[in-house]
Amino acid sequence: MKKVILLVLVFSFFSCAEMQQVMNQFPQTQGFGIDISGGLKEALNNGISKQVTKLTAVDGFYRNEAVKILLPDELKKVDASLRKMGLSSLADEGLKAINRAAEDAVKEATPIFIDAVVNMSFYDAKTILMGNDNSATMYLQNSTSTSLYGKFNPVIKNSFTKVGADKVWTNIITKYNMIPFVQKVNPDLTDYVTNQAMVGVFKMIAVEEKNIRTNLNARTSVLLQQVFAMQDKK
């Protein structure tokens, strides 16, 4: 009888070991019954609802030094030349116009970011949870930037027209190109502002993610408290 019991124990031991090997091959998105993936998605959604929406207000980009869209290198010489000609107000208007377009576009594009989070599958959720203060944001950025650009670019283009940025910059470029001996410019501002607006959006999402990771009071739901308590123990 003792031999039989010993054989059963040995068999059980190896069966459990083999089972553990099999389990280790699957992504661990649950920790002690906690929905890690759900917690990370909630953190990202908080970043969108609390931080990205700030960008949609008047001066949301323009007065926020962390995300304010500055002129590309090609247009810095345009700006300098206009100011030398006494057209500083026109130069200021041009800078404000591209930021206004971004503010308007983010307002319309926010659902795009929300959908991206909802449809995202965190196969490596535990790695992200135990990563840096912006790991979830970087995952979202790396996973969605290409598709987001395709959807966001036409929104920016429409916003340029809506806020009058296209007319402002047509006037600026025309005046600059009339200056004798200057190298003519014809920048793709839609592409530039699209990329810069996306940089600003992800930067603001990262702000909220870091807040949730480092500030206990920012964990405003039971799920966030449970998930990020696991991170605290790393």
pLDDT tens sequence across 36-54: 889 998 999 899 888 999 9
**Which has the minimum average pLDDT: 11-15, 40-44, 162-166?**
11-15
Mean pLDDT of 15-32: 36
| Least confident segment among 12-21, 124-133, 179-188 | 12-21
Q: With cut-offs at 50, 70 and 90, classify the pLDDT of residue 14.
A: very low
Per-residue pLDDT at 187: 87
Q: What is the C-alpha to C-alpha distance for residues 10 and 15, in angstroms, rounded to an integer?
A: 9
pLDDT in tens, 60-84: 999 999 999 999 988 999 999 999 9
Q: Phi then psi for 34, rounded to 5 degrees? A: -95, 135
Q: Is the pLDDT of residue 167 over 90?
A: yes
pTM for the structure as a whole:
0.80
- The predicted pLDDT at position 157 comes to 93
- pLDDT at 57 (0 to 100): 94
